[in-house]
Homo-oligomer: A and B are copies of this chain.
Amino acid sequence: MAYTYKYPKADHTVDAVVFGIDFDETALKILLIERAREPFKGNWALPGGFVEMDEDLEAAVIRELQEETNVRLSYMEQLYTFGAPGRDPRGRVISTAFLGLVQPGHIVIHEGSDAAKAVWWNVNELPGLAFDHAQIIKTGVQRLRSKISWQPVGIELLPDEFTLSDLQQAYEIILGRSIDKRNFRRKVLKFGVLAPTGNVRKENYRPAQLYQFDKKRYALLQKQGIDFEV
């Protein structure tokens, strides 16, 4: 079966910039796959692929992520569309990139079909990347950083229960600098999105109070936007 058109057409793909926080390594991680096919076979790349004809762009990323990595996202938004001619050796390929976030509990990867393997990489120690994916990742990191300062980010990156130190650590990892503990706590509590669960985490030494997000209030703040210049 073949499809014939009067004019040449570009292909349309989607790519996923998926971030997760690794609390053990205190690092921001990004999900990459090793390409199983040409072009760039054996190279590292963002998960993604061609959009089906009757499929929404968002649906396409979710499907591709499922196929290639089986990771479950807790959040997704459109990032940017990259369409420079020549960005793909196969011909004209326009790609819409998405920003995704995952909670630590869902960081497990089952290897899929299209990808040789999928691995979490430290954002600061990335390998060489296929296509213009280095640039896409750069755009994604910028977006995440700016997003964090005017929207409450956290529910999508933290486990359901977490300590204030966890939350602070998430911010420090993303922003790449340290934050004063007292100021951070006062500020974050003032928004009224956090509720103590009553449970404590006993790990080392003094137990830490566990919190969860008030989802209603969280959604409200997300809509309104907040000023969170920590």
- Closest B residue by C-beta to A229: B227
Q: B78–A96 contact, CB under 8 A?
A: no
Of the stretches A50-58, A163-171, A177-185, the one at the interface is A50-58
Q: B81–A96 contact, CB under 8 A?
A: yes
State how many angstroms separate the Cβ of A131 from the closest Cβ of chain B.
16
Q: How far is the CA of A129 from the CA of B50 in the complex (A)?
A: 30
When each residue 70-100 of chain A gets 1 if its CB lies under 8 Å from chain B and 0 otherwise, what string results? 0000000010110111000000101010000
Partner of A94, one of B3, B8, B57, B229: B57
A6 beta carbon closer than 8 Å to chain B = yes
Q: B4–A9 contact, CB under 8 A?
A: no
Residues of B within 8 A of A53 (CB): 8, 10, 85, 92
The B-contacting residues of A in range 5-22, CB under 8 angstroms, are: 5-12
Q: A3–B4 contact, CB under 8 A?
A: yes
Q: B6–A2 contact, CB under 8 A?
A: yes
State how many angstroms separate the Cβ of A194 from the closest Cβ of chain B.
24
Q: B9–A5 contact, CB under 8 A?
A: yes
Residues of B within 8 A of A5 (CB): 2-5, 9
- Closest B residue by C-beta to A54: B85
Residues of B within 8 A of A2 (CB): 4-6
Q: How far is the CA of A6 from the CA of B81 in the complex (A)?
A: 24
Partner of A10, one of B4, B12, B81, B150: B12
